[in-house]
Structure 1
Amino acid sequence: MIADIRQLLAVRPFEPFSILTSGGNRYPVPSAEHAAVDPQRSRVVVWLDDGSSVTISGLHITTLEKAAPKRG
């Protein structure tokens, strides 16, 4: 999953996605600047809009879900 996240972060134009975890949490990644993969490629840091961040072990990532396209 970590390799998939790296690919999603590199896509231009960026397409928002969410990371779902084994604990049932969902972490939105609205821009490439909101997430990063650690150098060992074992964890992802997601920065949330409230200024906090969460570090997610790759072992706990269950699903990557692309955001629904905006209607307009």
Structure 2
Amino acid sequence: IGTSPNPLIASTTKHLDINKWKCIEADEDGQTSREGVFAGGDAVSGAATVILAMEAGKKSAAAIDKYIREKKSN
């Protein structure tokens, strides 16, 4: 069970913004400060319900699909 992101993520991933609670910063679609890197669930929000994590995953999956499709068409 995760309640916060693994600290290794931020320390080993350059240009990934985190907040004061050590959670990864991401927009409503899960896009982080690093292009092409998406995050959701407890890694972004901290401890929350499974329902909220599933919602974040669904939004991020749609955004990832869009991101990949746009990259392929360019």
Name the structure with the higher helix share.
2
TM-score band by shorter chain is under 0.3
Q: TM-score, normalised by structure 2?
A: 0.27
Flag the structure with more relative contact order, 1 or 2, with Cα contacts below 8 A and sequence separation at least 6: 1
Name the structure with the higher strand share.
1
Q: TM-score, normalised by structure 1?
A: 0.27
